[in-house]
Structure 1
Amino acid sequence: MTGNGPRPEAGTGEVADAVRGNWVDRLAPPVTRPYLRLSRADRPIGTWLLLLPCWWGLLLAMLSDGQARWLDLWIFAGCGIGAFLMRGAGCTWNDITDRHIDGSVARTASRPIPSGQVSVAGALAWLAAQALAAFCILLTFPAAAILLGVVALGPVAIYPFAKRFTWWPQIFLGIAFNWGALLAWTAHTGRLEWPAVVLYLAGIAWTLFYDTIYAQQDVEDDALIGVKSTARLFGVHTPAWLRRFLVASVALMSIAVILALRGGDPIAVLVALLGPWAFGLHLMWQLTRFEPESAQGLLRLFRSNRDSGLLPLPFFAVALLL
């Protein structure tokens, strides 16, 4: 194996790219730790990246019709619980399908299945438990949102195989990870509309941005074992492509805001537009610190996308109050 990523301490069961001293390693009962690591509970950034498009979609839907209902509080919380569960189920599925690949990559060899902490049968049982719990949450949403939630299982199931047949697996990740923008909008309004679709496309462009940064950590190992990624595809042109994804994401989110608030108060529209612009400034900051040879720096940039994804929310919330 090659690679210059972080290494866990031998014999602890810790995963290489987890935050040192995370709550799973410190506080979780030992018997649960391998399964929580399988769900990436020791690496919460993925839950944030799955959840934030949900909250974008919910707040933008509330802005669109100018209504905030008690049900929205449950949609807000239910998306949080569901994102945790579905991210865990998706990661479990990903690790089951990638168990042979993960053992050949320095950053992923310490994961629970390739390191022998969890059997495939145990992982499948854990996957079923998480998916069932998430489905119970989904059943509390309106019928159209339930249907969207069921359809979302398709992209989730396909994504782990994408890097075997396309140089653009990040598109499949974006399709799966931003589905919440469609679902949360529909949970509030009862129907799927164009602002949600455009917001969804903005999220896909964002995923291409942050997951290309993430994939940059593994380019050497991926080249050796034949795994495809946008980071490998773009090579030295990666910064230029990151700029394109940045522009696309900010532009599409801005269009989604304009469509959602069409005919609304101009001040509210301007305040809401400050959200995607602040989001874009954070992505620009990431670009200035992009160093493809620094695995630790790449991981920090990837994790910082929680902050960039949070930035539109206060502007949407303030616009809702105007």
Structure 2
Amino acid sequence: MNWINTVVRPKIRSILNRREAPENLWIKCPVTGEMVFHRDLENNQFVVPNSEFHMRLNATQRFGFLFDDGDYSLLELPEASMDPLKFRDTKRYVDRMRDARAKTGKQDSVSVAQGTVEGLLLTAAVQDFTFLGGSLGMAAGEALITGMLRAVEDKTPFVLFTASGGARMQEGILSLMQMPRTTVAVQALREAGLPYILVLTDPTTGGVTASYAMLGDIHLAEPGALIGFAGQRVIEQTIREKLPEGFQRAEYLKEHGMVDMVVHRHDLPSTIARLCRFFTNTDTPEPKEAPVPMADLVEEEPVEAVEEAPVAAQAADPAETVAAEDEPKATDEAAEETSNNKG
């Protein structure tokens, strides 16, 4: 029975006490298949170091990387009707919404916040693709309109990060109605003379692309982002032609004039701040001088005292000095004259 105590029991204990590794400890790069440690990826703003592939971000991560020191305040958004059409497919729409809220911790796909970027106050909205594919519904439309009107009220630039599969089909025509409503809110920004900057992230498609996502004063895009209305497969089946490589990607759209700039995620805050200062004619804030450490302050050595000449000597008459200098010359001339007379 000794082998039970020495072999079997320790194995059973090791199995029972074994801790499973977290599922997201290692993340696979979709481009190269490389396994990247989650913490290293997070420290690099979820950009794979070797392939530079930009992974998708949720609203909390996006705001944290955008605003100074990750400090911002979320705007309170109006509530919308949960399920006005009582929609049901393989699952009730109410249940889908409940699951999405439990998974993401968000009330809907759009979040709006205010904060500073390089000291410049701005209003920003983020579409969260993890919430039902970032789809545009009544609540998302109300959130965007609220954010734009708040920007008009506070006279701040408005920055929108798009990531959506389009209009939310479970809300039918009520979802499609958000396209013209948000367009009217964009017009309010223009009439107020405020910059409206779009950052198109992966993916930006459907009704979002057909409305407010293409109405900005300037359009930025993250590298490799998928941007378009219909999918590539649908287009190929419709026109019966093979589309070029890289079609609907950010770089392709920039070459064809639909995107102004393709900006790396690390450079987005500085680029947005520079554009906002340009559009608002705001000067670049002067960098604050860092305080000098006490260790760098070296005490100066005391200067040795130098004895000064007597005041009487310093106050000598300049005329007397000149006369004294001329005396030797006069004596020499007299001696020379006496010598000549003797001769």
TM-score by length of 2: 0.27
Determine which structure has greater relative contact order: mean sequence separation of CA pairs < 8 Å that are 6+ residues apart, divided by chain length.
1
TM-score by length of 1: 0.28
Structure with bigger strand share is 2
